[in-house]
């Protein structure tokens, strides 16, 4: 991984702002954060993380694990660190007081609402409202938090869950994403890459092939491929335990190569950036 000196220095300076004690209480050590670039960049740039497993102790001392999203408060505390916000998965989408029944049902069903609301500066501005697809939370962002202007036609498209074009990119505003949007061209490319990778994996499914379920998992070895499309394989750590899957299902989870993530910049000044 390689950062420019400017970005690297900014990241190091911002590390002291992290609520390390709170993060350690849910299973994250400082070295883990430094190694988890995506989480670190999302937190320090004022965004919400993707879903992450955390660990915590209950009142009776038992350790429990659940998936949540994390974010930092926008205001520094007296000790010059940001507060930690934990966003658990809610069982259902709850109706906020400022929503009428029509608005609530539209959001609940995955729609988008444009609504005049008071922003952080106390001014009445248009906000984009959506439901978080993973946590069932109500998400809202002022159009002033975008680092590009939105005209009436674009807001109408966003309201209808349609794509808009920004800086030559076709994007879909998606507040559930840590970026705040989905790059449709990149998404289509990733879909095509997955199809190509899946086909490559299918061709590699033969006795003796060594693979991983993920980059961090141990090695698995394919033992047999039946004429009906069933694949038997075992872990090198426990050869006696034979597992079975279809060629189609196994090809989706096999990891035969490492992935390189593009460099991400840190900027707490804007909520949604392209």
pLDDT in tens, 88-116: 999 999 988 899 999 999 999 999 999 99
68-71: long-range contacts, CB 8 A cutoff, minimum separation 24: 68/135, 69/132, 69/134, 69/135, 70/39, 70/43, 71/42, 71/43, 71/46, 71/47
Please, which pLDDT band fits residue 260 given cuts at 50, 70 and 90? very low
Q: Which of 62-71, 154-163, 231-240, 263-272 has the highest mean pLDDT?
A: 154-163
| pTM score of the predicted model | 0.65
Cβ neighbours for 58, distance < 8 A, ≥ 6 positions apart: 64
**Token output for 215:** 């980059």
Percentage of the chain beyond pLDDT 90 is 36
How high is the pLDDT of residue 182?
Answer: 86
Q: Is 168 in a helix, a strand, or coil?
A: coil
For residue 16, CA distances in Å to 39, 69, 260 come to 16, 21, 27
Question: Given this model, what pLDDT does residue 1 score?
Answer: 37
């Amino acid at each position: 991984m390689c950062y420019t000196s400017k970005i690297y220095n900014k990241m190091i300076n911002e590390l002291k702002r992290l609520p390390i004690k709170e993060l350690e209480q849910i299973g994250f050590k400082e070295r883990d954060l430094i190694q988890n670039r995506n989480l670190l960049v999302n937190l320090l740039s004022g965004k919400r993380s993707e879903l992450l497993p955390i660990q915590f102790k209950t009142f009776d001392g038992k350790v429990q694990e659940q998936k949540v999203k994390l974010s930092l408060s926008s205001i520094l505390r007296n000790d010059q660190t940001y507060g930690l916000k934990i966003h658990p998965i809610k069982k259902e989408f709850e109706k906020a007081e400022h929503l009428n029944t029509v608005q609530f049902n539209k959001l609940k069903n995955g729609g988008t609402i444009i609504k005049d609301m008071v922003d952080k500066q106390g001014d009445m501005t248009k906000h984009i409202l959506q439901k978080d697809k993973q946590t069932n939370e109500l998400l809202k962002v002022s159009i002033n938090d975008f680092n590009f202007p939105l005209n009436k036609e674009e807001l109408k498209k966003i309201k209808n869950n349609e794509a808009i074009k920004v800086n030559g990119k076709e994007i879909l505003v998606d507040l559930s994403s840590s970026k705040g949007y989905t790059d449709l061209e990149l998404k289509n490319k990733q879909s095509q890459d997955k199809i190509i990778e899946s086909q490559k994996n299918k061709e590699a499914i033969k006795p003796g092939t060594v693979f991983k379920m993920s980059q961090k998992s141990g090695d698995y070895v394919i033992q047999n491929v039946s004429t009906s499309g069933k694949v038997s394989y075992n872990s090198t750590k426990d050869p006696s335990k034979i597992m079975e899957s279809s060629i189609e299902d196994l090809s989706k989870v096999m990891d035969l190569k490492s992935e390189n993530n593009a460099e991400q910049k840190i900027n707490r000044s804007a909520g949604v950036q392209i």
